[in-house]
Structure 1
Amino acid sequence: MTAAARLAALDSLPADDLCQMAEVALAALVDIMNQETVLLRTGHIKQASTLTPDKTRLAQDYVGFARAVQRQGDRLRAEAPKAVDRLKQGHESLATQMAENLRVLATARTVTEDLLTDVAQIVGQQNKAKTYGRAGAVASDPASSARGIAVNRSM
């Protein structure tokens, strides 16, 4: 089926059916984002990352339905105003969940970066020579503190 045929099929659905399909996709997306947020909050980053493929698929599904709803907005408001109102409320719930999810992701990233930086500094301190310099103090080389450790900032 071509993309144009899929769009036409969505656009020709009865108003209640299209809204219901969008609501189901929206609820599933909010649910998986909530699961991810809970896992991240409790420090289960690896488990949270396993949700990414499903979250991506659900987000794509929802975006497809949301675009169909936008294209058919006038018709849907006329034929199924209550369903459109439910969708608006659901979308607000998604926005709230996304904001919380992004806050938790940012916190997890910061904590991870801080931990890796601390580990790099400790490893670097353990690897440097413990000799006295001219002034009678242990020489320090700040450039060697992160030798062998890299911080991936793409999280």
Structure 2
Amino acid sequence: MTAAARLAALDALPAEELCTHAEQALAALVDVMNQETTLLRAGHLRQAGQLTPDKARLAQDYVTFARAIQRQGTRLTAEAPAALARLRAGHESLATQMAENLRVLATAKTVTEDVLTDVARMVGQQNRARTYGSAGKVATDPAASAKGIAINRAL
């Protein structure tokens, strides 16, 4: 089935059915984002990362239904106003969950970077030569503090 045929099939769905599909996709997306947020708060980064494929698929499904609803807005307003109102409320719930999820992701990223920076600093200090310079102090080389450690900032 072509993309145009899939879009036409969505647009041809009865108003209540289209809204129901969108609500189900929305609820599943909010649920997986809540699971991810909970895992991240608990420090289970690997388990949270395993949810990424599901989250991406559910987000794509929801966007597909949301676009169909936008295209059919006039018809849906006339035929299923209550379902459309439920969907709007659910969308607000998604926005709230996304904001919380992004906040927790940013915190996890910052904590991870801080830990890796501290480890790099400690490794650099351990590998540093402990000799006295001309002023009678232990020489320091700030460039050597992170030798051998790389931080991937793409989280």
Q: Deviations over 1:78-124 (max 9, x none)?
A: 00000000000000000000000000000000000000000000000
Q: Name the counterpart of 2:81.
A: 81
State TM-score, norm by structure 2: 0.99
SS at match of 2:152: coil
Gaps of 5+ in 2: none
Q: Name the counterpart of 2:29.
A: 29
Q: Please state if 1:154 is matched with 2:148.
A: no
CA distance in 2, matches of 1:79, 1:135: 85
CA distance in 1, matches of 2:107, 2:45: 12
Larger deviation: 14-23 or 130-139? 130-139
Aligned AA for 2:107?
A: T
Q: Where does 1:24-63 land on structure 2 (aligned, <5 Å)?
A: 24-63=24-63
Q: Name the counterpart of 1:126.
A: 126
Instruction: Report the aligned-residue RMSD.
Output: 0.4
Aligned AA for 2:128?
A: K
CA distance in 2, matches of 1:51, 1:137: 52
SS at match of 1:151: coil
Q: Deviations over 1:32-68 (max 9, x none)?
A: 0000000001100010000000000000000000000
Aligned AA for 2:58?
A: L
- Offset, 1:8: 0.2
Aligned AA for 2:81?
A: P
Q: Name the counterpart of 1:111.
A: 111
SS at match of 1:24: helix
Aligned AA for 2:39?
A: L
Q: Deviations over 1:4-49 (max 9, x none)?
A: 0000000000000000000000000000000000000110001000
Sequence identity of aligned pairs in percent? Answer: 76
Gaps of 5+ in 1: none
Aligned length: 155
State TM-score, norm by structure 1: 0.99
Aligned AA for 1:121?
A: R
Aligned AA for 1:10?
A: L
